Amino acid sequence: MHFITENMMLILTAMAALVMLMWPPLSRKIYGIKEVGPLEATQLINHHEAVVLDVREDREVAEGMIPGSKHIALGQVGSRLHELEKFKNRPVVISCRSGARSAGACRILRKNGFEQVYNLAGGILAWQQANMPVEKR
């Protein structure tokens, strides 16, 4: 007990660090976000007419994006949901650079009634690492 009282700040810091490490996977479970890799995303695109939504910034998209994807920067997703309404009954694969921002976009879409939302695990970096095609616009 003496250790705990003498090291309360250390214990609280360790607990905060643990919560921060555990939050991303927990939040995906809480919001019902499924993650797919590049091969699974390709199957969704080819066999289930999935829509790919790229939520990176314009300068990032200029470097290349998944062929046929729709670009809406993460900060604009909420205000541009009307552009996505026609895809509500189709799978939506969301990508960003590494998979973190796209998880945020997944939450926005799920909250607005999109049922089949998938986060591209590892983002465009994983896509490129798997030697999947990229197009420049």
* Residues with active-site annotation: 96
- Rounded to whole angstroms, the Cα distance separating 121 from 94 reads 9
Residue 21 CA neighbour count, 13 Å, CB half: 6
| C-alpha torsion angle, residues 36, 75, 132, 130 (rounded to 10) | -60
Residue type, 99: G
Specify which residues 52 forms β-bridges with.
93
Cα–Cα dist 32/115, whole Å: 9
Report the side by side order of strands in the sheet with 117-120: 34-36, 117-120, 92-95, 51-54, 70-71
